[in-house]
């Protein structure tokens, strides 16, 4: 809807000011909007302590400042961009806590969203808008599973045992949600 369109624009513009003018007051506004969501994301898996959650918020926001230059509003909304940074930082933090000694960061391994072809960008934007508008129409049981998978960062089998459901049910709910959002898929 219109309002969320405007809201998205506001934060995209905010990121542009941060990138172009190194605008600290824009950064502070951005922090006030997104830091509480990042903290909620950090704590949603309930395996990180409050200290680690704060550490994650700092790390993600510092990356926002450092990487704002690479933000392209034609490819992603501000919140999608922040979400991917938060997701990758959280994955790296888990691995650090498990004492992984690795040359690969989650950034290295995650999907590179740097495709520059206009057709791809338009496609991504349409997909993104459609998905945004349809998320609210998902049945509660599907939305619940998606939240566990994407926000709490649980594997399908962890979700299955936590909710006492067969693994097949978890898989089919994820599949149904994705079909409902009309993501093209065959297999």
Q: Map the footprint of other proteins across residues 35-94, applying CB under 8 A.
A: 35-37, 39-41, 43-44, 53-54, 57-58, 61-62, 65-67, 76-77, 79-80, 82-84, 86-88, 90-91
Is 75 in contact with 82 (CB distance < 8 Å)? no
Tell me the residue length of the chain: 187
d(CA 169, CA 148): 14
Binding of residue 164 to other proteins (CB under 8 A): no
> Judged by CB under 8 A, which of 13, 47, 49, 155 binds other proteins?
155
SS3 of residue 179 by DSSP: helix
- Alpha helices (runs of H) in 22-77, residue ranges in sequence order: 24-44, 50-67
Q: Is 140 or 185 the residue whose CB approaches other proteins more closely? A: 185
Binding of residue 173 to other proteins (CB under 8 A): no
Q: Is 151 or 163 the residue whose CB approaches other proteins more closely? A: 151
Neighbours of 84 (CB within 10 A): 16
Binding of residue 144 to other proteins (CB under 8 A): no
Binding of residue 149 to other proteins (CB under 8 A): yes
């Amino acid at each position: 809807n219109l309002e969320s369109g405007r809201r998205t624009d506001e934060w995209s513009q905010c990121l542009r000011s941060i990138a172009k003018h190194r605008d600290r007051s824009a950064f502070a506004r951005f922090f006030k909007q997104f830091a509480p969501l990042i903290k909620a994301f950090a704590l949603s898996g309930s395996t990180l302590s409050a200290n680690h959650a704060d550490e994650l918020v700092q790390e993600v926001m510092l990356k926002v400042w450092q990487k704002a230059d690479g933000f392209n509003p034609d490819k992603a909304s501000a919140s999608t961009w922040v979400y991917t940074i938060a997701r990758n930082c959280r994955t790296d933090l888990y691995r650090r806590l498990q004492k992984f000694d690795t040359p690969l960061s989650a950034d290295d391994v995650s999907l590179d969203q740097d495709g520059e072809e206009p057709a791809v960008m338009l496609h991504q934007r349409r997909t993104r808008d459609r998905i945004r508008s349809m998320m609210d129409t998902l049945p509660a049981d599907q939305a619940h599973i998606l939240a566990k998978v994407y926000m709490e960062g649980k594997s399908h089998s962890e979700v299955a045992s936590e909710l006492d459901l067969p693994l097949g049910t978890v898989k089919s709910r994820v599949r149904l949600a994705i079909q409902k959002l009309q993501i093209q898929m065959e297999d």
